[in-house]
Amino acid sequence: MKNGAFRRVVRYLRNSIAHPYPIAGTTAQQREGIKFLWWDLLFANISVAFYAEFVTLFILELGGTSGMIGTMSSFNSAMTLLGPLIGAMLVARSGKRKVWVVLGSGGLGRLTLLLSAVVPLLFDGLTAVIVVIVLMCIRSLAGSISGPPAQSLQGDIFPPGIRSRWNSLAMVTGSVITVGVVPLAGFIIRFISGAAGYQTTMLLAAVLGFVATWFYSQIPEPESAERQTNPRTKAKGGGWAAFLSDRRFLLYCGVQFVWQFGIQISGPFFTVYMREGLGFSVDTIALLATATAVVNIFALAMAGKLVSDKNYAKMTAIGMLLVPFMPLSWYFAHSAWGVLGAKAYGVIAWACVHVAGLPLILSITPREHRAQFIALANAVSAIAAIIVPIPAGWIYAAYGFRVNLLLSAAGRGVAALMFLAMYLRGAFSWSYDDRREAELTRQQHV
């Protein structure tokens, strides 16, 4: 009896780790792709957890300033403007997607982490800071090049009925990993102390990231609709012309521009504010990130139950209306407990927006031009992200972070009302997936 119960527990744990993902309505090739994408997700999230929360602190440890952090954020945003356009062009010309993800974020992006780990051994002072910032900008470029190809590939791997469930699972998994790994990374940094601690976590992130890259490289890639685009459509401008003629998607991009504007007014400076404004230690920042991740697990799991592939626009509208109150809650946070409350509210407010993000963008982009549409949406958001952080850094230095928070809340609020207006006017009442299914059904009856 005891052995049987033990085996059942082991089997349950094995299944929970090895294949907890949804597969309803998938083909054998899609299931194979989901399997390798799952293992890529696990190792990629572990890699990110070892460095993402500590990049800013690493630069500050090397002698960087809040102004340099703001400048890096702007340059990163410039890379995210250029990168998606390059990625979409590569997909349109080659019809391939996986290779650009493997070479981009999976290859060059993770190589920059490895190089960042050795920078303090080769340079010191301002030179070391500049080199690390340049490497982080290259990492951002590599990742943004891979974005449209990766999302286009996901659109073929996941049928519409399971996209929101996969997105929820992926985000919950990321939060669970953050809970376990971020405190470990913080302990390593504190135990080794100084720049060497950050170097160690960067090295671990690079190694684990390359493992994730190998798993991603094993995904069987379905035939791309972007390779099969009609030559007449290409002669008329292809995806770029289709983008300009799609009024709904243009309005969506306008909302994203304003939304990103509001985010970037405060986004780059939360960690700086905790470190310099509130005087929190690295351990405290790591513990806050861990506690927030615990809340995020439950928030995303609940959002996964609330969001479906039929109501993603509605849940996005509700979430966007809640998000502007997050920077306002930071305005009144003066202690670690206050910051924890503000961060917890933030992840709860963001949960539905995050879970609905993938099915929303896939539903409003035509399959034959998906990478280009996604690239242009990312580019529009990147424009706002480029122009805001440098003046936002000046506001932070001249007037304090609270002014940033108020301006951020206002920008996010305007964007939320714009999206709500689109939803109420029926902009999301149909999707390209519905039209494609109707076309396939019509062809079967001809």
Provide mean pLDDT across the span 213-241: 71
Question: Band of the pLDDT at 444, cuts 50, 70, 90?
Answer: very low
- pLDDT per position as a tens digit, 93-143: 888 899 999 999 999 999 999 999 999 999 888 898 999 999 999 999 999
Q: What is the pLDDT of residues 44-55, one digit of tens each?
A: 999 999 988 888
* 303/325 Cα distance (integer angstroms): 18
Distance CA 6, CA 326 (A): 44
Taking the C-alpha atoms of residue 179 and residue 48, their distance in angstroms, rounded to an integer, is 12
Q: What is the mean pLDDT of residues 189-194?
A: 88
Tell me: pLDDT of 221 over 70.
yes
Please tell me the number of Cα atoms within 13 Å of 225 on its side-chain side.
18
- pLDDT per residue over 382-397, tens digit each? 888 778 878 888 888 8
Q: What is the pLDDT of residues 281-331, one digit of tens each?
A: 878 887 888 788 889 889 988 988 888 767 889 999 999 999 999 999 999
Q: What residues does each domain of the chain span? A: 30-219+239-444
Residue 164 has pLDDT above 90, yes or no: no
> How many CB atoms sit inside 10 A of residue 6's CB?
10
CA distance 276 to 271: 9
State pLDDT tens for residues 416-429. Answer: 999 999 999 988 88
- Is the CB of residue 256 less than 8 Å from the CB of residue 81? no
**What pLDDT does residue 299 have?**
92
| Fold that domain 30-219+239-444 belongs to in CATH | Growth Hormone; Chain: A; (1.20.1250)
pLDDT for position 124:
85
Spell out the residues 6+ positions from residue 329 whose beta carbon is closer than 8 angstroms to its own: 341, 342, 345, 346
The answer to whether the beta carbons of residues 79 and 112 sit under 8 Å apart is: no
Q: Which is nearest to 289 in space by CA: 36, 19, 38, 53?
A: 53
Per-residue pLDDT reduced to its tens digit, 9-33:
555 455 556 667 777 778 888 889 8
Q: Are 121 and 198 in contact (CB under 8 A)?
A: no
CA atoms within 13 A on the CB side of 320: 29
Q: How confident is the model at residue 446 (pLDDT cuts 50, 70, 90)?
A: very low
- What is the rounded CA–CA span in Å between residue 412 and residue 407? 9
Q: How far apart are CA 212 and CA 140, in angstroms?
A: 18
Report pLDDT for 396.
84
Are 356 and 313 in contact by the 8 Å Cβ rule? The answer is yes
- The whole-number average pLDDT for the span 337-341 is 92
> What is the Cα–Cα distance from 157 to 32, expressed in whole angstroms?
9
